[in-house]
Amino acid sequence: MLKGERREAICSLIDELNTVTTGEIAAKLSVSEMTVRRDLAELSSEGRVVRVHGGARSVAGVRGVVIPRELTHSEKGSAHVHEKAQIAAEALAYVDEGSTVFLGTGTTVEMLARILPLMRLRVITNSLPVIDILRNREGIELFVVGGAYRASTGAFVGPLAEQGISTLGIGTAFIGLNGIFENMVSTSNTPEGTLQKLALDHADRRCLLADSSKLGRRDFFGFYDLANVDVLITDGLVTAEQLHELKQYTKVITA
């Protein structure tokens, strides 16, 4: 089993059982306890599990747990891949031919960019990965919002980017995020959050894309109220309790 597969298996096991010991994980996956401890240390630093004495427990029961650090683009890209692909596929229902869409930063939004069907579409983005995906795509009129470049996320941000987007009309904005806690949508830094807020404010339809690991989590900068978006698209691993709470604020679609 590759390291990435093992880590996903550990997370799935912890989510299923809520609390698991290091020995139980090692026996289940047929690996050493030392390997499990290293994996748990990394997963804990990423905010994906909570370390306890002798093992770990799920973050699902920790309301509003704060994300400890900003993950790299590579780390985000390798996490919850299946769920993100399902969310992106569900989001296609909100892409209308001939419309103008904003594709923000984030690996789930990048997946949406990759599977856009062949159609006439105007795409506005501040994401370098999205630009790379769509720059030669037939039928797509690509508009780039430029500014200061954040290498950690591949985003163009700052006053120039904000000025550029403030004059644009957007049909549907597709926005990724790092956390949703109660009514607050958050991300890791102020510049990206500010630009995402502007994109949402200028859009006729506001769509958030978030896998279930982001729910009940808080990051550094809260940039939008969940009640002010039109739809949140998440995956089928969302719990009944989370779904009930989210639906108090907005429409929720599970992929």
C-alpha dihedral sign at 93, 170, 177, 180: negative
**Which DSSP symbol is given to 61?**
G
Query: Residue 190: which of 159, 236, 228, 230 has the closest Cα?
Result: 159
User: Which of 68, 71, 37 shows the shortest CA–CA distance to 54?
Assistant: 37
C-beta separation of 188 from 220 below 8 A:
yes
pLDDT at 17: 77
Cβ atoms of 246 and 215 closer than 8 Å: yes
Position 62 scores a pLDDT of 55
- Tell me the pTM: 0.77
* The predicted structure's pLDDT at residue 78: 76
Question: Could you report the average pLDDT of every consecutive run of 10 residues in the chain (255 residues)?
Answer: 88 82 92 93 83 80 64 77 95 97 97 96 98 96 96 95 95 96 94 97 98 89 97 92 93 96
pLDDT at residue 217 in the model: 87
- CA pair distance 144, 6, nearest whole angstrom: 38
In this structure, are residues 167 and 202 in contact, taking their beta carbons and an 8 Å threshold?
no
Indicate where the chain has its CATH 1.10.10.10 domain(s). Answer: 3-62
pLDDT on residue 47: 76
Q: pLDDT at position 228, please? A: 97
Output the pLDDT for position 49. 83
Question: pLDDT at position 44, please?
Answer: 84
Q: Which one of 3.40.50.1360, 3.30.70.3340, 1.10.1240.10, 3.40.50.920 gives the CATH number of domain 73-254?
A: 3.40.50.1360
Gap between the Cα atoms of 87 and 234, Å rounded: 6
Looking at the domain that runs over 3-62, which CATH code has it been given?
1.10.10.10
Rounded Cα distance, 102 and 122, in Å: 9
The predicted pLDDT at position 75 comes to 76
CATH 3.40.50.1360 region(s) of the chain?
Answer: 73-254
State the Cα–Cα distance between residues 6 and 40, nearest whole angstrom.
Answer: 11
